[in-house]
Structure 1
């Protein structure tokens, strides 16, 4: 009898020492890379161009016509030379993923724009005109001296003055045109820097450039339509890069079930693609706001779990059944 009581007491102690699980909460989740990053071509979107135009106008309004304008986003053409990364490949941050070049006709066009030949010609013409004005001014002084001595007529002086006024008018027009040409040349250089890099100039237009990875991780996706020789003229999604170990599982959980979950709870996940196998995961995030705002609909919250994936057997986008055992009583 005494032995039976002792065994019963030990069993009761073990029972009290372990939490009693009241139920298993189940929901569907999907795998995601923790730092899923889309790698795009450098082209500006129409929305980005609108933002640039608004910024440029604001700078001009606040600082005047001579203010330094913001760098205009890239809108040119790029020709794909080489694909340097493939799906599943591990890449480091800033590693080259794609090599591209600028079409030769675009380079020639840019070189002509940046050559500033017209600008140099206008500067030479202005310098010659100012030299001519100085000569006319000296000629007018001599005519005035001769007029004082009665050796020059009033008509001669009037003709010289008219010539000087005409030359000064040409000087103002040429000076205004030269200022506008300089502004245009400055804008063309900024555009070239946006296309070819900060060191771009009339004598330094690189024939090629590269798309690099923003993070260290694995190449998860490659645009199948982008091939060597293809010319891109608008913003294009090229790659998806992200880490895969650990991998995240995100799931929408009903508000009634959510009240029973806590950060740190352990879960098991069974994936349809791997029957008979389960994975251990941990809840790492429970949001404070629901995904829906409609008061007529029940609220669901996006819960996040962390799942070790050392063999990279789990891929991004896999669906799985998540099960969490929650203890009985208040938490």
Structure 2
């Protein structure tokens, strides 16, 4: 016995009659101890939809993608005008690569230490005063501190380079997901502010299948079980999907609960935004058996 449209979740029209029909068919199947496929309407949606924007404001300089383009995570899709930021980065790099101040401080320290050592030898022979020796020692110590200061300045310059790189990177738009471009909301030359996303992206591998089922089947459909998803024509075919979410808050008004399935979509062979049917195979003990899941004929 195959349970089709009687078991689908349509909440308009003669829903009460269909619901009673589902109860009758389900009870009859359980009494006979057989496995009964139960079919519900569903919708195939993107796993997630992203409104891509820049963390900073500015004028869009270029967009390298258009509607329908396939993207990979981290791919550059566009950018904002960044002349000032690029110049600041070049200046920071020039400062960070300047070795002359450190070399000059090292040379001065070597000279003063040599002078101090020479005065030590002369002081042993009572040729120079102790005051002159102490002055030479203090000058060498000051030169050593100045050298450490120059090294610290170089470290700070390296940090300024990193800061400038991050500021410049914020002017570059990168895709946060593997997916497709759904819409271009702005074009080069337009001003992008905090409230204006630039692109709409959609992740469609895996796809998300949303189902609304009668409360009669609550507890029978469980996370981790496999079901068959059958997209409507002209897509057609049959694909296995895994239950990932079963709502714990039911809708008392309609007597239904929500179920979400994850549908693998390698090669992006299936589009999102289409209606479908999903088939669960109910066991006689009230559970859900795993369906083998066919492929598209």
Give the TM-score category using the shorter length. 0.5 to 0.7
Secondary structure in 2 matching 1:128: helix
Which position in structure 1 is the counterpart of 2:17? none
Aligned counterpart in structure 1 of residue 216 of structure 2, from 243, 250, 256: 256
Which position in structure 1 is the counterpart of 2:200? 239
* Aligned partners of 2:51 and 2:201 also within 8 Å: yes
* Aligned partners of 1:219 and 1:240 also within 8 Å: yes
1:62-141 map, 5 Å: 80-87=60-67, 89-91=68-70, 93=72, 98-100=77-79, 103-116=82-95, 120-141=99-120
Aligned counterpart in structure 2 of residue 176 of structure 1, from 148, 151, 157: 148
* Aligned partners of 2:246 and 2:260 also within 8 Å: no
Aligned equivalents of 1:279, 1:225: Cα separation in 2: 35
Which position in structure 2 is the counterpart of 1:164? 136
Aligned counterpart in structure 2 of residue 31 of structure 1, from 20, 44, 60: 44
TM-score by length of 1: 0.53
**Deviation of residue 140 (structure 1)?**
0.6
The verdict on how the C-alpha distance between 1:186 and 1:254 changes in structure 2, with shifts beyond 3 A counting, is farther
**Deviation of residue 329 (structure 1)?**
6.5
Q: What is the CA deviation profile of residues 242-299 of structure 1, one whole-angstrom value per residue up to 9, with x for unaligned ones?
A: 348x9643134354234566843577879xxxxxx99787673334653439xxxx88
Secondary structure in 1 matching 2:181: strand
Aligned length: 246
1:1-331 map, 5 Å: 18-19=1-2, 23-27=6-10, 29-33=42-46, 35-36=47-48, 38=50, 40=52, 43=55, 80-87=60-67, 89-91=68-70, 93=72, 98-100=77-79, 103-116=82-95, 120-141=99-120, 143-144=122-123, 146-147=125-126, 152=127, 156-192=128-164, 194=166, 211=174, 214-215=177-178, 217-222=179-184, 224-225=185-186, 227-228=188-189, 230=191, 238-243=199-204, 248-259=208-219, 263-264=226-227, 284-287=241-244, 289-292=246-249, 300-304=257-261, 316=273
Question: Which sections of structure 1, spanning at least 5 residues, go unmatched?
Answer: 1-17, 44-75, 198-207, 271-276
Aligned equivalents of 1:284, 1:196: Cα separation in 2: 42
**Deviation of residue 130 (structure 1)?**
1.2
**Deviation of residue 135 (structure 1)?**
4.0
TM-score by length of 2: 0.57
The verdict on how the C-alpha distance between 1:23 and 1:252 changes in structure 2, with shifts beyond 3 A counting, is closer
Aligned equivalents of 2:231, 2:118: Cα separation in 1: 100
* Aligned partners of 1:77 and 1:233 also within 8 Å: yes
Question: Which sections of structure 2, spanning at least 5 residues, go unmatched?
Answer: 11-40, 287-297
Q: CA RMSD in A?
A: 5.0
**Deviation of residue 129 (structure 1)?**
2.2
Secondary structure in 1 matching 2:174: strand
Aligned equivalents of 1:264, 1:132: Cα separation in 2: 82
Secondary structure in 2 matching 1:178: helix
Aligned equivalents of 1:193, 1:210: Cα separation in 2: 14
The verdict on how the C-alpha distance between 1:78 and 1:181 changes in structure 2, with shifts beyond 3 A counting, is farther
* Aligned partners of 1:83 and 1:97 also within 8 Å: no
Secondary structure in 2 matching 1:253: strand
* Aligned partners of 1:268 and 1:279 also within 8 Å: yes
The verdict on how the C-alpha distance between 1:279 and 1:256 changes in structure 2, with shifts beyond 3 A counting, is farther
Aligned equivalents of 1:158, 1:134: Cα separation in 2: 16
